[in-house]
Structure 1
Amino acid sequence: MFLHFGILLLLSQGLLGEGGLSEAIDGDSRIIGGKDATPGMANYQVSIRAHERHQEWHSCGGSIINEEYVLTAAHCVYQKNKNDMSVVVGSHTINKGGDRYKIKKLIPHAKWSRPVVKNDIGIIQIEGKFKFSDKVQPIELLKEMAPIGKKCLFTGWGYTNRRRQTVPNNLQMLEYVTISNDDCTKQLKPPYPKLVPIDAGQLCAKRPNLKGACYGDSGGPLVIQDEKNKTVQIGVVSWVVPCAKDYPDVFASVHGYYDWIQSNIK
């Protein structure tokens, strides 16, 4: 994990190793402070694992977008060794279950910029193909711009308590509401003038104060229900004011990188 300009890129190091979306969004859901996601609810969720010698830990989140590819953040894959990583799907727990896949290729955006945290989008190609089941399914990507003021849901295995470095075993969920990039820029400009304005490749969402994404949540999916009640992904968690402070969290926009994503999974 690392801090930059006082912000938090949500990489994790050294972490221990059946319901609907509408039900989750309507419920009391949070990550810091902790609420378990319903098993099988986020069957698109990926745990990206890091390996060193005989140790393994959850490093980043991601989402299955087809039989071979995972969507995540650029800083989760940039300058990483694919042989020191793997992908686990099909389990809402870290310590057991799920299917493991080796990694064939890591694809960070070519214009990923750590100093200003822009173009923070990346793709992982696995070896072979995912075996789809009721626990393992791809998530559809939203082509259009995400609506403002829309309830959305984030899932991940990041810290549930930053000070104590508490790590959940069960997948956690948190409700957000999307806000405009202009509003987000105004809120983030005082503490982080070098990181704004929020651009077309980013989107922001607010959640209750004292709740939010933290270490280990990078790359995780932000999803909504569209007009047809289909679950679609609108964002990939990128950076936050650490952790669970009264600021918006910043995501890479699926809409903003839709063409880039499609061109890299063909």
Structure 2
Amino acid sequence: MEKFTTILWIMYLQSAIYRAEEQPMSVQIPIMNEVKSRIIGGSEVTPHSYPFQVHIKMFNKISNVASCGGSLISKKIVLTAAHCLDGRPSLVAIKLGKHVFSKYEKSEKLYFTSTYRSHGGYYGKECKDDIALVQLNEDVDLDGETVSTVELARDPTKLYVDEQATIVGWGMTDSQAQSPELRSVDVKVLDQHGCVFQTYSKIYPTQICTSGAGPKGACVGDSGGAVLVDGVQVGIVSCLKLHSEEGDTREHCMSGLPTIHTRVAMYKDWIDRALSDPGFFNKGCTKGSNIIFVLCDIFILLAHF
């Protein structure tokens, strides 16, 4: 009887996910002190050309769904942005092997989990330390074609200035509709000074900045996705800095201003601990009871004063 009930519950969640995808609500890239997101000026990719890309849905209630991108970095761990988990979801659905997120595909694999951890330094105000890891409940079957892991940047001294980077995601396009097909866009990596000059904002060494000229860049739904240079993930889509918060989401995405990303190599030790320490997800501000989250929030808040 218990097994039958479990099967019914999984079927119910599966149907809820597809109902939600008909009218998706995506986590937005932080704009200034908020959390907002952008793929503008890009094109549809060849199916499964980015087999590490995952589609993430977060559930607080069955009717409250938000989505983000992410990257598979091991058989059991997904890399994404911390702001994607701001709502402290009680359930996270991970889909791998996807190209069109709004319909079932034979290549797709679906996993549910409630285990994740955001970086302890993340507070959201300046998109600083905007990185999180999600642990699946079982190992993923890596077929090397539709599902595989991504190589992560390891050298924190390499800045990639003036190199071409590729952003991947299912985010909002120029038409102000979220793309059902996976898309990518090529953008230029900016130096820190140029990024500060364009955004009037502080840029941390733990962040990497890409040009929005064209306009080209990320948009709603791309948060947490990969920023790649020569196939290596160097960044995580994090936030868009604007001079003004006036205007709609499309205007924000089409502003031509740079997008800020989390610099992956700066967190290699933290990521390595997650890959090697079985107790990693039992430490820090992981998903848990409300009182634990409140205490975690207080601790992080005090750390910023």
* TM-score under structure 2 length normalisation: 0.71
1:188 to 183, 199, 204: 199
- Tell me how far apart the structure 1 counterparts of residues 61 and 196 of structure 2 sit (CA, whole Å): 43
SS, match of residue 178 in structure 1? strand
1:91 to 98, 109, 127: 98
Match of 1:243 in 2: 253
Whether 1:37 aligns to 2:45 is yes
SS, match of residue 98 in structure 2? coil
Identical counterparts, % of pairs: 28
Counterpart code for 1:260: W
- Tell me how far apart the structure 1 counterparts of residues 188 and 180 of structure 2 sit (CA, whole Å): 26
Counterpart code for 1:92: H
Displacement after TM superposition at 1:210 (Å) = 2.4
Displacement after TM superposition at 1:153 (Å) = 0.7
Contact 1:118 1:201 in 2 (8 A): yes
Displacement after TM superposition at 1:35 (Å) = 1.4
SS, match of residue 266 in structure 2? coil
1:139 to 141, 150, 154: 150
Match of 2:162 in 1: 149
Match of 2:204 in 1: 199
- Tell me how far apart the structure 2 counterparts of residues 117 and 249 of structure 1 sit (CA, whole Å): 11
Displacement after TM superposition at 1:206 (Å) = 1.1
Displacement after TM superposition at 1:174 (Å) = 0.4
Q: Which string of whole-angstrom CA distances, capped at 9 and with x for unpartnered residues, describes residues 157-209 of structure 1?
A: 11114xx64111100110011111122112111xxx4xx1x111100011432
Q: Which string of whole-angstrom CA distances, capped at 9 and with x for unpartnered residues, describes residues 198-254 of structure 1?
A: 1111000114322221111100000111xxxxx210000000142132211100001
CA separation of 1:4/1:35 partners in 2, compared to 1, >3 Å: closer, same or farther? closer
Q: Which string of whole-angstrom CA distances, capped at 9 and with x for unpartnered residues, describes residues 104-133 of structure 1?
A: 411111110212221101111011011111
CA separation of 1:205/1:11 partners in 2, compared to 1, >3 Å: closer, same or farther? closer
2:271 to 250, 261, 264: 261
Contact 1:89 1:136 in 2 (8 A): yes
SS, match of residue 87 in structure 1? strand
Displacement after TM superposition at 1:64 (Å) = 0.5
State the number of aligned residues. 234
Structure 1 residues not aligned, in runs of 5+: 13-30, 226-230
CA root-mean-square deviation? 2.3
CA separation of 1:5/1:58 partners in 2, compared to 1, >3 Å: closer, same or farther? closer
CA separation of 1:205/1:90 partners in 2, compared to 1, >3 Å: closer, same or farther? same
* TM-score under structure 1 length normalisation: 0.80
Displacement after TM superposition at 1:265 (Å) = 2.5
Structure with the greater alpha carbon radius of gyration: 2
- Tell me how far apart the structure 1 counterparts of residues 30 and 262 of structure 2 sit (CA, whole Å): 17
Match of 1:124 in 2: 134
Q: Which string of whole-angstrom CA distances, capped at 9 and with x for unpartnered residues, describes residues 63-90 of structure 1?
A: 000101011001112352242x200010
Match of 1:9 in 2: 35
